[in-house]
Structure 1
Amino acid sequence: MIQEDEGYFFGLGAFETVAVENGIPVLLEKHYARLYQAAAFLGLSLCKEQLEEEVGKALEKPEIQTGRNVMKITVSQKNLMVTTRENTYQTADYERGFTAAYAKTRRNETSPFTYHKTFNYGDCILEKRKAKEAGIQEPVFLNTKGEIAEGATTNIFFVQKGKLLAPPLGCGMLPGILRQYLYETYEIQEQILLPEMVETFDEMFVTNSLLGIMPVRQLEDFVFPGMEVGRKLLKEYCKEFFFA
């Protein structure tokens, strides 16, 4: 039962969503590290033993021992919850690729909440709902300067002549776990990215813990020439983490 606290009333809480593949949580220690950073930012006391105990119980559930699933950890001043559900991304999503469009809301790169995964997630949820109604899989936020920042639930990458491009953290984004994985595994070139530059790019893909690496076939009216690099990176990522 949820207890009333500043997380419930004011959104001063943090959460993590962890992919669970055939019973194995993917990059769990990195999720823990980010959760502790968010908790420290919010001034929350997070007991390591209690957290790991609740996570252990969740991972023992029979229904997440096979297939693609999700474990969600939420923490606030008086609450710690770990829940599970099915991961609904399908093979067809990766074959088709996402469509994306710019959100009307701007990402506030000056807000510290932008850089932590907290309950202050309303902009993302509302823009995601509006995008879904329009047949768009992922809204893309520009920051207050008009620079490309991030997706509502993803980090953004482009490919140009074989190079992987990404906006720097300071443009305003949550530093994603899959973003970190890519930075640790491949050479990423950071630069300010503007909407008018998009038509010079060969590919776009987005990342988060649940979808991994998702090719994007179209942003607004521009259809990217290919999705080969995104698919290759996805294949390598899946191979490393023993996905079915």
Structure 2
Amino acid sequence: MEKILFKKSYSHNNYKEKPFDYLWNKKGAFTSVAVYGRSKKFLHFDEHIYNLTRSLKKIGVKVNLKPFLNSFIKKNFKNNIKYHHLFRVAVSTKTISISLRKINYNTNYVKCVLINYQRPNYKIKNLKYKKTFDFLKLVNNRNTECIFYKNKIILEGSTTNIVFIYKNQILTPKEGCYHGISLKFFSKKFKIKKKNIFLQNLNNYDEIILLGSGRGVVSVDEIPQIGWKKRDNLFYNKFYQFYKSYINKTLSKRQK
């Protein structure tokens, strides 16, 4: 069971608190920001809120989030907690909902299951997640990620973007998915090529790596459905060391 430190909902028009609602399957969008350390470092906070605001505008929802969230963080985050949490902000047509839960994924062994599905309105992180939750109920989410595909083309993970390693090339699905903040972050360091990844070619890849705010950087061990098993950790180690170095540097800056 996930450990939630707080969950609160507020009205758009006056920012007054109201009964909590996760807002799943409502008209709206959400984002999840990783928070680390006693210095309360929110990884890529500005980018997350910018993307969320832009997504909301696309579906006709207008709200001034940044000042409200800055005030909320000052009031609700403590100095005596060493954070390793996921800060979720969801916004519907009338409500802002905020929750904080501990990151509790298993990184020692991770497998994937292949599912023929594409998220509706996939270009934004919308709240229409009923089908995704139905799939996640069928697996142990701590050590299993669902990989979605459509028309035999790989799209994205249920909570992650995916990169594939083939002959020292780093590839990620070209379309049909949401290219998230974590993927964009790694793209600044590594040459990641967007390309159609075909279901029938998965066994050609040496490594499959998951990227996301919650999971961070994770190497997939196997996909039992097709008998795929990882053959190397070379690029995973590069990604992980880069990510770890970034977190350590940013935490140090906040602690000075």
| TM-score strictly above 0.5 | yes
Deviations 1:48-107 (A, max 9, x none): 32233223334x3346x4141121112122212322121113xxx3333x101111x421
Contact 2:117 2:148 in 1 (8 A): yes
Deviations 1:113-147 (A, max 9, x none): 211112111222111121328x960111112x220
Contact 2:23 2:90 in 1 (8 A): no
Over 3 Å counting, the alpha-carbon distance change for 1:116 and 1:125 in structure 2 is: same
Over 3 Å counting, the alpha-carbon distance change for 1:179 and 1:209 in structure 2 is: same
Contact 1:202 1:226 in 2 (8 A): yes
Instruction: Give the structure 1 partner of residue 52 of structure 2.
Output: 35
Over 3 Å counting, the alpha-carbon distance change for 1:123 and 1:227 in structure 2 is: farther
Gaps of 5+ in 1: none
Contact 1:54 1:82 in 2 (8 A): no
Q: CA RMSD in A?
A: 2.4
Instruction: Give the structure 2 partner of residue 19 of structure 1.
Output: 34
Instruction: Give the structure 2 partner of residue 70 of structure 1.
Output: 86
Contact 2:24 2:127 in 1 (8 A): no
Contact 1:217 1:226 in 2 (8 A): no
TM superposition shift of 1:11: 1.2
CA distance in 2, matches of 1:209, 1:9: 19
CA distance in 1, matches of 2:219, 2:24: 37
Aligned residue type for 2:101: R
Task: Determine if the alignment matches structure 1 residue 128 to structure 2 residue 133.
Answer: no
TM superposition shift of 1:217: 1.0
Pick one of 88, 99, 109 that aligns with 2:111: 99
Q: Which has the higher helix share?
A: 1
Task: Determine if the alignment matches structure 1 residue 152 to structure 2 residue 164.
Answer: no
CA distance in 1, matches of 2:155, 2:107: 23
CA distance in 2, matches of 1:70, 1:132: 19
What TM-score does the superposition give when structure 2 sets the normalisation length? Answer: 0.81
Question: Structure 2 matches for 1:128-207, cutoff 5 A?
Answer: 128-132=136-140, 137-143=144-150, 145-168=151-174, 170=175, 172-207=176-211
Aligned residue type for 1:37: R
Aligned residue type for 1:54: F
The residue matched to 1:54 in structure 2 has which SS? helix
Over 3 Å counting, the alpha-carbon distance change for 1:242 and 1:9 in structure 2 is: closer
TM superposition shift of 1:10: 5.7
Instruction: Give the structure 2 partner of residue 54 of structure 1.
Output: 72
Worse-superposed segment, 27-36 or 43-52? 43-52
CA distance in 1, matches of 2:145, 2:188: 25
Contact 1:16 1:117 in 2 (8 A): yes
Q: Which has the higher strand share?
A: 2
Contact 1:51 1:80 in 2 (8 A): no
CA distance in 2, matches of 1:189, 1:161: 13
